[in-house]
Structures are given as C-alpha cells and as structure tokens.
Amino acid sequence: MAIKDILVHLDNSPSCKSRLDMAIQIAKRHGAHLKGLFVLSHSYYAPRHTTSDLEVAKATEAMFNLKTSGAGISAEWLYVDWSVIGVQMTEIVTLYSYYTDLLIIGQPTIESNSCGVPFDMPERLGLTTGKAILIVPYTGTTNNEVDRIMVAWKAGRESSRTLHDSLPLLKAASNINLVTVGSPDGYNSAPESDIEKISSYLSRHQISVVHDQIQSPPSFPIGDMLLNHACEQKMDLIVMGGYAASRRGAFMLGPVARHLMNHMTVPVFMSH
C-alpha cells in the first residue's frame, strides 16, 4: 500500500497556499502524482460565474503550476466549471476523489464558503468519498513536513480503519506518538493490553511508536486535551477516527472529532 495519487482541493481561502505547500511536500516525499482541483459550482438564482471567480481560478492555476514545477513533481491542474445548477461542491469533489489515494482539503472558512464550500464539507466528504482525508487548518501550518505524527487511539472500528489508512504516512515519519485518554471516573480509551497489540501490529510494518496516556480533567473537552498535547509535542499531524453511529443508525462525526474540526490548529487525518 502506498500513496501514489493525491488530490488537493483549492479555493479562494487564505489558507489555500499553505494547503498546496503541504500537498506538494507529501507528494514529493511519496513520489506521488498531485492533482489540483478547483471547482466552480452554481447555485440557484445566481449568475453562471463572475469575473472575480474566473480571476481567482486563473490566479490559483498559476500558483499551482509555479509551485509544482518548482518542486519537480508530477502534477495536473483540474478546473471544473460544473454545468448543472444546484449540484453542491461536496458532490463534485466526491466524484473526483474516487480516483485518488489521498484527498487533501482545507478547514472551511467564511472566505471559502463564498466560493461554494459548505462549512460541513470535511464531514460530508468523509462519508461519501470512501477515501482518507487530510484536513488543513484555516490558520495554515508552521511545518509542511509530516514527520511527527500523533495517533489518537480509541479501541474500535473507526480508529482501526484510520490507523490502517495512515500506514504510508506513518512509515515515512520519524516520530509517532500513540495517544490514549483517561479520565478521573476511570474511563480509558484503550487498556494496556490493547496498546501492546497495536505496537506489535505496527512493528510488523517497521513502525515504532511511543505510547502517551493523557488524563482529562473533569469537564475538560477531550478534543482540547488532544490539541494541547499535539501542540506541546510539536506534532505535524493528528491521525484519528472520527465517525460514530447515531441512535438512528446514521453515521456522523463524533463529539471529539467535531471539536477538532471546529478548533484545529494541526492538520487532521481521518477516514471512514
């Protein structure tokens, strides 16, 4: 299993440049082909496109071509002016994600929302694409290398799926922390025997990990604990399972993952 094809969604948000820089670094490290996707979708009762939309698309294409050629990687520009009115951005990105190994998107902002990016796009793409997704904070990143990775582990299907999908990134990293959370009421996201099994499994992929058990104070969000720990350890990426079944059986972001989506300061890798 390897990452050989990456799709990065680009828009008019301030974090677009940082997102592209990170995508280029990952593509370069893994010898992958990078596709830059810029989508113009058209809502009801709106002009087909405006001059500013086209100018943004052209400027983004120029930036993409300049950066990818400078990095010396295989790259491809995809400009999609979707002709069907009312088709949402998420649906279009989903169609293009079927033909890639990794989808990189940005944390939605007011600026990107004006370009048709819904605020819940990361959550919806996670459910519709069937692919691993890397979400880059709207504040950007201080380091585009993915060399220090924090795996937030909670025994279960979603963590297991995401851990497996992240193996190519873990193999290329130099430092991996496997983080579990405990609380004063005795809750523990994974027993010690579970950690031994995970460590043994990863060792067969030539991946070594350090286990960190962090304690969550009463009434303190677990999401904040994970973000604080990632910041203290200077992590480049958080890997975590994010989805859970609701009482009605539908899958949705769990409370911890939703907290990270709203407050992320470090890129997050998720899959479903």
Instruction: Report if residue 69 sits inside a domain.
Output: yes
Instruction: Report if residue 272 sits inside a domain.
Output: no
pLDDT in tens, 189-245: 667 778 899 999 999 999 999 999 988 777 778 888 999 999 999 999 999 987 655
The distance from CA 264 to its chain's CA centroid, rounded to whole angstroms, is 11
Residues 6+ apart with CB under 8 A from 123: 252, 253, 258, 261
Residues 6+ apart with CB under 8 A from 200: none
Instruction: Report if residue 143 sits inside a domain.
Output: no
Which tokens in the block code for residue 127? 């459910």
Please tell me whether residues 109 and 68 are part of one structural domain.
yes
The C-alpha atoms of residue 44 and residue 250 are separated, in whole angstroms, by 28
Please tell me whether residues 230 and 190 are part of one structural domain.
yes
> What's the pLDDT score for residue 115?
60
> What's the pLDDT score for residue 250?
52
- φ, ψ for residue 77 (rounded to 5)? -95, 130
CATH number reported for the structural domain that contains residue 163 in this entry: 3.40.50.620
Q: How many domains does the chain have?
A: 2
User: Which of 85, 106, 136 represents a domain boundary (last residue)?
Assistant: 136
Please tell me whether residues 71 and 101 are part of one structural domain.
yes
> What's the pLDDT score for residue 171?
97
User: Which of 87, 103, 136 represents a domain boundary (last residue)?
Assistant: 136
Give the domain extent around 64: 5-136
- Residues 173/145, Cβ–Cβ less than 8 Å: no
Please tell me whether residues 15 and 36 are part of one structural domain.
yes
Instruction: Report if residue 142 sits inside a domain.
Output: no
Please tell me whether residues 11 and 132 are part of one structural domain.
yes
In the chain, which residues have pLDDT < 50? none
Residue carrying the six token digits 């104070």: 217
Please tell me whether residues 107 and 176 are part of one structural domain.
no
